[in-house]
Amino acid sequence: MAHKPSIPKGTRDFSPQEMAKRNHIFDTIKEVYELFGFSQIETPAMENLSTLMGKYGEEGDKLLFKVINSGDYLKKVSADELATADSTKIISKISEKGLRYDLTVPFARYVVQHRNDIQFPFKRYQIQPVWRADRPQRGRYREFFQCDADVIGSNSLMNEVEIIQMLDKVFTKLDINVVIKLNNRKILAGIAESIGYPEKLIDITVAMDKIDKIGPDAVYDELRGKGIDDDAIQMLEPFMNLQGNDTNQKMNCLGEFIGDSAIGNRGMLEVEEVFDRLKAFDIKNEVELDLTLARGLSYYTGAIFEVVAKDAKMGSISGGGRYDDLTGIFGLKDVSGVGISFGADRIYDVLTELDKFPKTQLKGTQVLIVNFGKEEEKKAVKILTQLREEGISSELFPESAKMQKQMKYANHNNIPWVILAGEDELQSGVLSLKNMESGDQFKITIDELISKVK
């Protein structure tokens, strides 16, 4: 090898062992989604750039991977334009496709495009990779999988409640202790309104969101930097300091604060209703009203969710919210949706850190038949076929290699049973079966073997 081949920054290969673990995560999520009545769709890796641009804020546009046009892609660019070296201007001429940044926007596009075939409310789930041209770090990749579930075409807060149940169920099944954080964009809007800066909603919420990380003083500094005056900042203080999980206290404090804001009040009512409806269900994990939870995506309009693992240092491992008009941008008005996304790659990292992957061997080959040579192979093939017909994953070593090599192969691949069918066994008509874990070996007939391994 002259130069070792490599893969692009922030992308990864997955080994068979890793795939077994990843599938454990995907299967768990899928199972819960289907249990709640969601059905699966897929959309292309590439979307038209016009579908993606402007949906994720200014930062998001920068993080989009653009796909350069095929053929002579510079043909449409004049020499003058090229000379300006203005990449933002030129990009629109040389690229009209981009890799999807998330699954929600492509879904909105899907809903609008197929509106006549869809029966609302439409509950779909989607498990596919997304791409972001971010700088990679731990738990942060340029290609990663999202596992989305959305209900579109229903305003009922029952959907929010179901989503919280699904979050709870998935993380309970995966054995990760989490805090499910809940907030509402309308409350945040009420706060911005009450301190006199309704137009600074995004700046205020982005700053508030960081309180856990950088502390109140740094948040106030950032707000000042955004042009919020000290009086307004002072008004924020009381509930910036509201910690813990006392929902009533938070709501009371909030009521006094944003009582005059119509939108704020609506947000409070929504949150109250969600908590109220939630009482009818047995939720295993903590559900916390977190008034500082903001979430960057600009399309959220109501409930917002975020899930954080209690026992691992990792950003959010799941997030979502309600968006009242995502399809509006694509020409379909007044269709509200609410959804969540599990970050499978981060969940993988958390499970690895906490050593929480199931210990029981994830299903692989159960039986290896040792290959003793041409003659014995004929009998071995029959046994192999019989085992497979019984639904037992089994393989015959493809060549009559040394016994040591074949045993090592079984060992390395965690194959629990090895069948020895050599000259002796063919004579006597019984097989030798070896348990690779205990090392025990005994004579057995094929039928006994099948019932034992099955």
Partner RNA sequence: GUGGAUGUAGCUCAGUUGGUUAGAGCGCUGGUUUGUGGUGCCGGAAGUCGUGGGUUCGAGACCCAUCUUCCACCCCA
Check if the beta carbon of residue 188 is closer than 8 Å to that of residue 204: yes
- Residues that bind RNA (rule: CB under 7 A) add up to a total of 66
Q: Figure out which of the listed residues 407, 449, 450, 453 binds RNA, where binding follows CB under 7 A.
A: 407
CA pair distance 274, 290, nearest whole angstrom: 14
With binding defined as CB under 7 A, does residue 5 bind RNA? no
Q: Who's near 123: CB < 8 A, 6+ residues apart? A: 36, 37, 38, 39, 149, 150, 151
Convert residues 89-128 into a mask of x (bound to RNA by CB under 7 A) and - (unbound): -------------x--------------------------
User: Which of 168, 346, 351, 396 is in the footprint of RNA by CB under 7 A?
Assistant: 346
3-state secondary structure of 160: helix
Q: Cβ of residue 344: shortest distance to RNA, in angstroms?
A: 8
Query: CA dist 27 to 21, 31, 40, 354, Å?
Result: 10, 6, 13, 19
Residue 420 CA to residue 435 CA, distance in Å, equals: 11
Rank residues 193 and 306 by Cβ distance to RNA and give the closer one: 306
CA distance 64 to 99: 7
> Considering the rule CB under 7 A, would residue 10 count as an interface residue with RNA?
yes
| Distance of alpha carbon 62 from alpha carbon 41, whole angstroms | 27
The CA distance from 217 to 193, in Å, is 22
CB nearer to RNA: give 270 or 425.
425
- Distance of closest approach, residue 115 Cβ to RNA, in angstroms: 25
Contact region with RNA (CB under 7 A), list: 36-44, 266-274, 280-288, 314-322:
314-322
The answer to the question of residue 345 lying near RNA (CB under 7 A) is: yes
* Window of 151-159, 168-176, 234-242, 294-302 that interacts with RNA by CB under 7 A: 294-302
Identity of the residue, 88 or 404, whose beta carbon is nearer to RNA in the bound complex: 404
317 near RNA (CB under 7 A): yes
Per CB under 7 A, which of residues 213..232 are in contact with RNA? 213-214, 222
Shortest Å, Cβ 131 to RNA: 9
Could you please report the per-residue DSSP string of 217-232?
HHHHHHHHHTT--HHH
Nearer to RNA by Cβ, of 153 and 319: the residue is 319
CB of 366 to RNA, least distance (A): 14
- In this structure, the number of other CB atoms found within 10 A of the CB of residue 44 comes to 11
Q: Which of 144, 171, 197, 417 binds RNA (CB under 7 A)?
A: 144
Q: Is 424 in the site for RNA (CB under 7 A)?
A: yes
Tokens of 82: 């090229």
Is omega for the bond preceding 121 within 30 degrees of 0, making it cis?
A: yes
Stated as kind and residue range, the H or E segment containing 443 is strand 441-444
- Which residues in the 53-72 window bind RNA by CB under 7 A? 57, 59-60, 62-63
Answer for which of 61, 81, 96, 134 binds RNA (CB under 7 A) is 134
Q: For residue 375, give both structure tokens.
A: 């003659």
- Please name every residue paired with 66 in a beta bridge, in sequence order, or none if there are none: 98
2 contacts RNA (rule: CB under 7 A)? yes
377 binds RNA (CB under 7 A): no
Burial class (CB in 10 A: 0-12, 13-18, 19+), 334: exposed
Taking alpha carbons only, the member of 371, 374, 422, 421 closest to residue 397 is 371
Instruction: State the minimum distance, in angstroms, from the CB of residue 129 to RNA.
Output: 10
Residues interacting with RNA, by CB under 7 A?
2-3, 6, 8-11, 57, 59-60, 62-63, 102, 132, 134-142, 144, 146, 206, 209-210, 213-214, 222, 295-297, 306, 315-319, 341, 343, 345-346, 402-405, 407-408, 410-412, 418, 420, 422-425, 432, 434, 436-439, 441
